[in-house]
Structure 1
Amino acid sequence: MDYNFQNASTHKTQIQPFKPNLSVHLICKDCKVSPPNLVDTSEGFCVCGDCGFAIQEGIVDTRAEWRTFANDTDSDVDPNRVGYVGNSFETTALSTSISYNATIGRKGKELMHAQDRLNGKKDSALAAAFTKISAYCDGYQLPRVVHDSAKEVYQLVCDDNSLRGKSQDAVIASSIFLGCRKANMSRTFKEISALTNVQSKDIGKVYKIISKIMQNKTDSDPYNNCYPEETTNNSQTSLTDLIRRICSSLGLNNKVTIAAEHIAQRCKEEDILTGRSPNTIAGASIYMATVVYQVRIPMQSLCLKGGIGPGAIKSACTIIKAEEDKLIDSNWLVKS
C-alpha cells in the first residue's frame, strides 16, 4: 500500500490580522435608526436619544470617581474615594504613656499626672478591657461579631453600681458569654471558664446582674434597645452544637459525630438521662458512638474537652447501654 506524504509546510495556517466586521451594525429595536443616537445615563443605561429605548443596561462606569470627604479647607484636598469605616471599639490608636520613675524627679511626676488627666483613666481602663476581650475571643477563634458584641456589653455595664466589688475578669467573662449569645454562637459557662480562668459560679452571678442592668436600660429607653431580651435569655447551649464542638476538638470523623447527635436526640425523645447536664449527655453520646464504630479516644481527653468527670460519663453510658435497642441504630453495627 502506498502512502502519500504531503509537505507539511504547504498546510501551515497563516494568522490573519484582526479586522472589524463592517457588516455588523447597532440598530435601535424601536425606531430602527442606524446608527442610533446613543446616550449613556448616570444610572448605567445606554438608551436611544431619539425614542428613549434602553439598548443596554448595567454598564460599568470606568471614569474617575474621586471625592473629597475631608472637612478641611479647600487648599487641603483629600482625594479619597471612600472613607474609613470607624469602629468605636478599636483601641489601636497611637497614644502617649508617661510612667513615673524616681529618677525623673518632681517635674516628671507632674507631667505624668497631667497626661493622666488629659487621657482619662476611664478611657485607659476601657481600652485595656477591650484588649483583654479581643485576646480571649481570639483564643477560641471567635468571629469579629462576637468581639464587638462582648465589648458593647462591657461598655454598657462597666460603670454600673450593681457591679461594685465584682472582679473585672468575671465581668469580661460574662460579657463574652452574652456576646456569644447575641451572635447565636452560645457557649457554656464551663467553656467560658476554661477560656478566662474564672469560676463558673462567678460567671453565673455576674451574668444575672448584667442581664438585669441591660433589662433596666431597655425599660427606661425602649427606643434604644441595642441588646434585645431574647438574646439574653437563660436558654442552654444547643446539644447538637456542643457535640460538634467536642468532636471537632477530638478530631473525630463525621460518622461518629452524626451517630452521637442521633443518640443524644433519641435520649431526649425517650426521656432517657433526664436531669443530666448537656455536657454529660454530649460526652456519653460521643463515647457510645466511638464504641460502636470502634474508634479509641482517651477518656481523659473527652473529659477535658467536654468539661465533665469520668464518673458522670460512665454512669450515663451504663444507662444508654441498658436502652441500646432504642438509641443505637442496628445499621451502624453492620457498616462498622
Structure 2
Amino acid sequence: MAQSQPAQKYGPDLSVKLICPECQIPNPNVVEEFSSGDLVCGDCGLVLGDKVVDTRSEWRTFANDEGDDPSRVGAASNPLLDGVDEFETMISSRDGNSGISKELQRAAAKSSHGRSERSLMNAFRDISSMADQISLPRSIADIAKQLYKRVDEERLLRGKSTDAIIAACIFIACRQAGVPRTFKEVWGLTRVPKKVIGQCFKVLERAFGSNSPSMTPGVDTPTLNNVQSGPEDLMARYCNHLSLPVWLQSGAVDVAIAAREHGVLAGRSPITVAATCIYFSSALFGYPKSASEIGNIAGVGDSTIKSAYKILFNEKQPVLASIHDKRANVRNLPDP
C-alpha cells in the first residue's frame, strides 16, 4: 500500500527584494532617507516609496561648540526659567492607602528646584490660566510672565499677594501690547480687592513706565505712558458678543469719535462711553439692543448706560451732523 505524502506547508517568500524598475540591478542599493521620508534608489535616484517611518533611536544629541549636550527628549526649555526645566508630571494621590504617593510627592517637592523656582513656575501656570479665561493670546501671557519675573527678581512688591501681582502684570501686558482689557475684567479673575490690585498697578506703572521689557528682541514695546485703552478699542469685542454687524460697529466708533470731538460724555469711563455709543448706534441704525443686554456684556449697569444716553441724546445734533455724511441709513432716535 502506497504511503501518502505529507502535505506541503506554504509560507512567505523571504527572498523577495525591492528592485528599482529603472535600473533593474539584482542587488539594488536602496537608501532610506529619513529626513525626507523617502525610499530612494542609490544608483539612479528614483524614489521607490514615500512616508518612511523613522525607527531609529530617539537618543540623538545636538551638541554645539560650547559643550552643551541636550538630549532630544521632553518639552522645549523655557527661557524665563534661566535653564530650569519645568517638570510637568503630577503624582497621583491614588495609591491604595499605602502612603507611597505622599512620599513621592514629598520627594518631588525636595527636588533640585529651589523654592523660588517652584513659586515662579506656579505663578507662570496661574498667568497662563488667567490669560485663557479672558481669551488673551500667548504673546500677552509671555509678556506678563516676564513682568512677573522682573517683579520677583527686584522685590518690587514685598508683602503683596501673588494673585494681585499677577493681575497687575496681566493688565500692564494688555496695555503694552495694545490688547484692550478693562480693569474690571482682570480683577474678576481673582478674589483680591480692587484697592490692592490698584496699589500693585501703581507701583509697577512707576517701575515699568519708561523701560518696560519687550519679549521680541530688537522691537521696542510701547510703554504705559503712551498706550491707553479708549472706547473704540473695546467696541469690537462688545459688538461681537452682541452679534451686531461690522458696519454698525464702525458706526459706533464714529459716534464715539464725534462725541469726543464735541466734548460729550467727558469724564465718563471708556467702558461707559463704549456701551453708551453702542446703545446709541444700535437704535440709530435699526438694530436696537436693550441697555441690560449691553450692560451684561460690558459689565456696566443699565442705569449708568441710560443716564449717559440722556446726555448724548441731548447733544445729538452736533454728533449726528458729524456722522451724517458717512452713514446714509441713519434713523430717528428714541427718546430717553
Whether TM exceeds 0.5 here: the answer is: yes
Mapped partners of 1:324, 1:96: distance in 2: 61
Q: Is 1:192 the counterpart of 2:189 in the alignment? A: no
2:246 to 248, 254, 261: 254
Q: In 2 relative to 1, CA 200–235 (structure 1 residues): closer, same or farther, beyond 3 Å?
A: farther
Show structure 1 runs of 4+ deviating over 4 A. 89-92, 94-99, 101-105, 108-111, 225-230
Mapped partners of 1:135, 1:114: distance in 2: 23
1:167 to 140, 161, 174: 161
SS in 2 for 1:70: coil
What displacement does 1:248 show? 1.4
Normalization by structure 2: what TM-score? Answer: 0.63
Q: In 2 relative to 1, CA 162–181 (structure 1 residues): closer, same or farther, beyond 3 Å?
A: same
Aligned to 2:13: none
Q: In 2 relative to 1, CA 162–93 (structure 1 residues): closer, same or farther, beyond 3 Å?
A: closer
Aligned to 1:316: 308
Residue correspondences, number = 257
Aligned to 1:211: 205
Q: In 2 relative to 1, CA 227–192 (structure 1 residues): closer, same or farther, beyond 3 Å?
A: farther
Q: Contact 2:127–2:145 at 8 Å: present in 1 too?
A: yes
Normalization by structure 1: what TM-score? Answer: 0.63
Aligned to 1:243: 235
For 2:79, the aligned partner's letter is S
What displacement does 1:176 show? 0.8
Q: Contact 1:188–1:236 at 8 Å: present in 2 too?
A: no
What displacement does 1:226 show? 9.9
Q: In 2 relative to 1, CA 291–115 (structure 1 residues): closer, same or farther, beyond 3 Å?
A: closer
2:143 to 137, 143, 149: 149
SS in 1 for 2:188: helix
What displacement does 1:297 show? 2.6
Aligned to 1:277: 269
For 2:303, the aligned partner's letter is G
For 1:332, the aligned partner's letter is N
1:140 to 117, 134, 137: 134
Aligned to 2:62: 69
For 2:197, the aligned partner's letter is I
Aligned to 1:124: 118
Q: Contact 1:126–1:155 at 8 Å: present in 2 too?
A: yes
For 1:135, the aligned partner's letter is S
SS in 1 for 2:288: coil
SS in 2 for 1:333: coil
For 1:153, the aligned partner's letter is L
Mapped partners of 1:162, 1:294: distance in 2: 52
Q: Greater CA deviation, 276-285 or 235-244?
A: 235-244
For 1:126, the aligned partner's letter is L
**Residues 195-220 of structure 1, C-alpha deviation per residue, up to 9 Å, x if partnerless?**
4454443322111112334469x59x
Mapped partners of 2:218, 2:190: distance in 1: 26
Long gaps (5+) in structure 1: 1-66, 220-224
For 2:279, the aligned partner's letter is Y
Q: Is 1:303 the counterpart of 2:300 in the alignment? A: no
Q: Is 1:87 the counterpart of 2:78 in the alignment? A: yes
Q: Contact 1:264–1:282 at 8 Å: present in 2 too?
A: yes
Q: Contact 1:283–1:302 at 8 Å: present in 2 too?
A: yes
For 1:69, the aligned partner's letter is F
For 1:313, the aligned partner's letter is I
Mapped partners of 2:246, 2:107: distance in 1: 59
Q: Contact 2:279–2:288 at 8 Å: present in 1 too?
A: no
Long gaps (5+) in structure 2: 1-59
- Greater fraction helix: 1
Q: Contact 1:149–1:179 at 8 Å: present in 2 too?
A: yes
Q: In 2 relative to 1, CA 334–179 (structure 1 residues): closer, same or farther, beyond 3 Å?
A: closer
What displacement does 1:301 show? 2.8
Aligned to 2:330: 333
Mapped partners of 1:68, 1:229: distance in 2: 36
Q: Contact 2:171–2:183 at 8 Å: present in 1 too?
A: yes
What displacement does 1:239 show? 2.2
Q: Greater CA deviation, 117-126 or 306-315?
A: 117-126
Aligned to 1:178: 172
